[in-house]
Amino acid sequence: MDCKEARERLTATCGGERTSPLEEHMERCSACARYAARIDAARRLLTEHHGNVEPDPAFAGRVIARLPNATADVLGWAAMKLLPVTIALALVLGWFALQTAPNFETEEPADDLLGWVIGQNGIES
């Protein structure tokens, strides 16, 4: 077994089981033995590597608080449901506003503006 084959085998198993020819080669080749030590370390890092972070009890609450536009969705749904009512209300209010608006065309102010204003307010001088 040469170095090329030895390293291919070591890499393929990432530090896993080693055959006798591979072990024999490493006894003779210090560079491959060092490579084997490195691949063993890499395997340990890959397998031992773990954040070991546990979710705390408030985690779900934090997720729910970040739900995209959860409130906006609810409001949007409500707005769609209430749209006909909103339109009807706007029409009624508009009609009412037109009926109660002062009629400037028929009640032109007098030349004496102050007297006209006082007259509009029902104040007798």
Partner 1 sequence: MSITWTMQMPVDAASAPVDGEASLIAASLGGDADAFSRLVQLHQRRVFRLAGRFFRRKEDVEDAAQETFLTAWRKLDTYKAKAPFEHWLTRVCLNCCYEKLRRQKVAEQPLDGGAERPATTADPDAALEVEGLLRRLPAVDRFILLLLDGEGWSVAEIAERLGWTKVNVKVRAHRARKKLRRALEEGL
DSSP secondary structure of 45-100:
HHHH----PPPPTTHHHHHHHTSTTHHHHHHHHHHHHHHHHHHHHHHHHHHHHHHH
Question: Using the rule CB under 8 A, which residue among 21, 61, 94, 109 binds partner 1?
Answer: 61
Task: Measure the CA–CA gap between 77 and 87, rounded to whole angstroms.
Answer: 16
Shortest spacing between CB 88 and partner 1, in angstroms: 27
Instruction: Using the rule CB under 8 A, give the single segment among 20-28, 63-71, 106-114, 116-124 that binds partner 1.
Output: 63-71
* 75 contributes a contact to partner 1 by CB under 8 A: no
**Which contacts qualify for 73-81: CB closer than 8 Å, 24 or more apart?**
none
* 55 contributes a contact to partner 1 by CB under 8 A: yes
Tell which residue, 20, 4, 23, has the closest CA to residue 12. Answer: 4
By rule CB under 8 A, what string of x and - marks binding of each residue 11-50 to partner 1?
A: xxxx-x--------------x--xx-xxxxxxxxxxxxxx
Within a 10 A sphere around the Cβ of 46, how many other Cβ atoms? 10
* Interactions with partner 1, residue window 100-119 (CB under 8 A): none
- DSSP annotation of 42 reads H
Instruction: Using the rule CB under 8 A, give the single segment among 9-17, 83-91, 95-103, 113-121 that binds partner 1.
Output: 9-17
Binding positions for partner 1, rule: CB under 8 A: 7-8, 11-14, 16, 31, 34-35, 37-55, 59-64, 66-68, 70, 73-74, 77
